[in-house]
């Protein structure tokens, strides 16, 4: 029996890794389609991100003469770290082979490692755009990561663990109720997700303007399969954050260990619906706000940090620790 459960957990883990990889370009494409419709344009087809990735994979890599080994290996490191982080987040079931390592702290560490190597690679060839993008990315990270950690501490105070599968089980068990602290943590995590995924109003992935670029400035020197890996990692990160928000605050539909095939199927369907809903809401939000100026990033992410801190304080006081 234990062997069968371990085998199923391994199968579900492989399915999850392939699922997030397959859905990531589609999610980005859906956001673009909805935004185009809201702006009265026809827009690109839903499958355009898949076409772009395959086109880049077929192209040769062009490297600067002074590019070091770090510049070459960074796309593989970034893609692997973010794909592994996405594999840790329960999407349709918590019966995964990596459940024991599916910890929020490990998740933050993997994302921080990917950002660290990408920022180093941005400065590696010595271009002004790379340095500009890396410095701005680190400025955002200095504010976003503390806010993310405070959200984790808030949840850890309530659930007494940072294990994602146990958090899902706790939320599914009910009894949490409506809490102001969780609402503040959710808003803070949404703001962090917007900043980390280079979305409007912090960044605009559809433009290459010198004054506003952040993430795009760091990857301007990449081409071919290297750029395909970085673009795929960026799409995976968007899926990761949507799945993370869904599994913590909207875990309904996720199957638990021991449940049958019907629960797994419901989990798969609800996960896809959650992603689609998230894409529509993100497109609505991005079409209703304007890109903010660079010097206001601190105000935006400072607000996220303040909300997460207030959420942690409310939980600390209400739980009587």
pLDDT the model gives residue 210: 61
Task: In whole angstroms, give the CA distance from residue 293 to residue 280.
Answer: 25
Task: In whole angstroms, give the CA distance from residue 260 to residue 171.
Answer: 20
CA atoms within 13 A on the CB side of 123: 12
pLDDT the model gives residue 198: 86
Residue by residue, DSSP assigns 70-116 as HHHHHHHHHHHHHHHHHHHS-SSBS--TTGGG-BHHHHHHHHHHHHH
Which of 153-162, 284-293, 312-321 is predicted least confidently?
Answer: 312-321
Q: Which helix (H) or strand (E) holds 265?
A: helix 261-288
pLDDT the model gives residue 71: 94
SS (H, E, C) 185-202: HHHHHHHHHHHHCCCCCC
Q: What is the mean pLDDT of the chain?
A: 89
Contact, 150 vs 188, CB < 8 A?
Answer: yes
pLDDT the model gives residue 201: 87
Interval 9-29 mean pLDDT: 94
Of 30 and 319, which is predicted with more confidence?
A: 30
Query: How does residue 315 score in pLDDT terms, banded at 50, 70 and 90?
Result: confident
Interval 120-135 mean pLDDT: 88
Instruction: Check pLDDT > 60 for residue 321.
Output: no
Model confidence pTM above 0.85: yes
Task: In whole angstroms, give the CA distance from residue 130 to residue 217.
Answer: 6
Task: In whole angstroms, give the CA distance from residue 292 to residue 91.
Answer: 32
64, two tokens: 């600067």
Q: Give buried/exposed letters for 198-227 (b at 16+ CB in 10 A, else e).
A: bbbbbbbbeeeeeebbbbbbbbbbbebbbb
pLDDT the model gives residue 160: 87
How do residues 147-197 score in pLDDT, each as one tens digit? Answer: 999 999 888 888 888 999 899 988 888 767 677 888 999 999 999 999 999
Query: How does residue 319 score in pLDDT terms, banded at 50, 70 and 90?
Result: low
Instruction: Check pLDDT > 80 for residue 227.
Output: yes
Query: How does residue 6 score in pLDDT terms, banded at 50, 70 and 90?
Result: confident
pLDDT the model gives residue 156: 87
**Residue from 320, 310, 319 nearest 180 by CA:** 310
φ, ψ of residue 126 to 5 degrees: the values are 80, 20
Interval 199-212 mean pLDDT: 73
pLDDT the model gives residue 90: 92
Interval 226-233 mean pLDDT: 95
Q: Choose from 71-80, 125-134, 310-319 the range with maximum mean pLDDT.
A: 71-80
Query: How does residue 114 score in pLDDT terms, banded at 50, 70 and 90?
Result: very high
212, 274, 280 from 277: Cα distances, Å: 28, 5, 5
- Percentage of residues of the chain with pLDDT beyond 90: 55
179, two tokens: 């809490």
Instruction: Check pLDDT > 80 for residue 318.
Output: no
pLDDT the model gives residue 220: 86
Q: Work out the angle between the directed axes of helices 164-172 and 224-249 (0-180°, nearest 10).
A: 40
Counting every residue written for the chain, the total comes to 321
φ, ψ of residue 102 to 5 degrees: the values are -80, 80
Query: How does residue 217 score in pLDDT terms, banded at 50, 70 and 90?
Result: confident
Task: In whole angstroms, give the CA distance from residue 285 to residue 206.
Answer: 15
80, 85, 139, 149, 307 from 302: Cα distances, Å: 30, 25, 12, 13, 9
Interval 135-152 mean pLDDT: 89
pLDDT the model gives residue 72: 94
Task: In whole angstroms, give the CA distance from residue 68 to residue 215.
Answer: 20
pLDDT the model gives residue 157: 84
């Amino acid at each position: 029996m234990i062997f069968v459960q371990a085998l199923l957990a391994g199968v579900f883990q492989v399915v999850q890794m392939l699922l997030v990889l397959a859905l990531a370009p589609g999610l980005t494409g859906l956001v673009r389609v909805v935004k185009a419709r809201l702006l009265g344009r026809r827009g690109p087809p839903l499958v355009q991100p898949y076409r772009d990735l395959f086109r880049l994979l077929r192209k040769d890599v062009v490297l600067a003469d002074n590019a070091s080994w770090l510049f070459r290996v960074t796309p593989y490191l970034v893609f692997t770290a973010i794909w592994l982080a996405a594999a840790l987040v329960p999407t349709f079931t918590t019966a995964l082979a990596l459940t024991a390592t599916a910890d929020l702290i490990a998740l933050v560490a993997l994302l921080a490692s990917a950002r660290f190597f990408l920022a180093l690679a941005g400065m590696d060839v010595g271009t002004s755009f790379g340095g500009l993008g890396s410095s701005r990315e680190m400025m955002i990270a200095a504010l976003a990561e503390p806010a993310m950690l405070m959200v984790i501490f808030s949840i850890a105070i309530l659930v007494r663990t940072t294990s994602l599968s146990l958090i899902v089980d706790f939320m599914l068990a009910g009894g949490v109720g409506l809490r102001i602290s969780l609402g503040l943590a959710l808003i803070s995590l949404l703001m962090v997700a917007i900043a980390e995924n280079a979305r409007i109003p912090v960044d605009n992935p559809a433009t290459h303007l010198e004054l506003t670029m952040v993430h795009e400035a760091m990857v301007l020197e990449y081409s071919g399969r290297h750029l395909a890996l970085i673009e795929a990692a960026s799409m995976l990160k968007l899926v990761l954050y949507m799945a993370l928000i869904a599994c913590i605050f909207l875990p309904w539909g996720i199957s638990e260990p021991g449940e049958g095939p019907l629960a797994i199927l419901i989990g798969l369907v609800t996960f896809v619906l959650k992603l689609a809903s998230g894409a529509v809401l993100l497109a609505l939000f991005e079409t209703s706000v304007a890109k903010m100026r660079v010097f206001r990033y601190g105000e935006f992410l400072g607000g996220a940090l303040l909300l997460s801190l207030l959420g942690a304080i409310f939980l600390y006081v209400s739980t009587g620790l």
